Amino acid sequence: MEFIRIVVLCVIGSIVYGVLHNQVTVRISLEYFTVAHERIMINPTPTVLAAAWGVLATWWAGLLVGLPVAVCCRVGRATKLDWMWLAPRLGVALACMGGLAVVAAVGGRALAATGVVRITPWLAERVPEAEHVNLLTAGFAHGASYAGGVIAGAVLCTLAVVTRRQGRGKAAEVAAADAPEPAPAVIADESRAS
């Protein structure tokens, strides 16, 4: 059951990240969602469109990260890790992904504004020229988030394996808490012995 909880936590974390991320990028470039992607709704508001894509574009990424993370946390003889061990680490990973997306968006915007990168001819004829830089900015942010997700998954797997090999985790903490206190050492008083 804990294996499933870990996977579900990763999927939910991914979806929440995707929805929040899209709420920002849809305001940078609506065309990123309406022209560069296939139509999934008829005349939605930007907020609804971003939320829908936030779910559609990230649940599977959360699943692809969640499965190996759950294996690293639960499979084998070493101390098992649960979803509560993972939750704060996943939160930090998602925050780092957000930071990476911001850096990529700023860098991508600078590259697009100077003409170093350009949108494809297919998009160029469908998106007003004034929106090209914005579309590339959103694209860089999204690309960085996907790359960050791969890196975050690898880091979380590595942390789980290292933590389990060191014997740290819920089972080890419970065992340590249940262990009897050592008996106090008896120190002989040398003044009485003489």
Indicate the burial class of 23 (C-beta count within 10 angstroms; 0-12, 13-18, 19 or more).
middle
Query: How would you write the pLDDT of the chain (194 residues) with one tens digit per residue?
Result: 999 999 999 999 999 999 999 999 999 999 999 998 888 888 889 999 999 999 999 999 999 999 999 999 999 988 999 999 999 999 999 999 999 999 999 999 999 999 999 999 988 899 999 999 999 999 999 999 999 999 999 999 999 999 999 986 555 454 555 555 655 555 555 555 55
Report the chain's C-alpha Rg in angstroms. 25
Indicate the burial class of 50 (C-beta count within 10 angstroms; 0-12, 13-18, 19 or more).
buried
Predicted TM-score (pTM) of this structure: 0.82
Give me 43's structure tokens: 């005349």
Indicate the burial class of 177 (C-beta count within 10 angstroms; 0-12, 13-18, 19 or more).
exposed
Predicted confidence at residue 107, as pLDDT, reads: 97
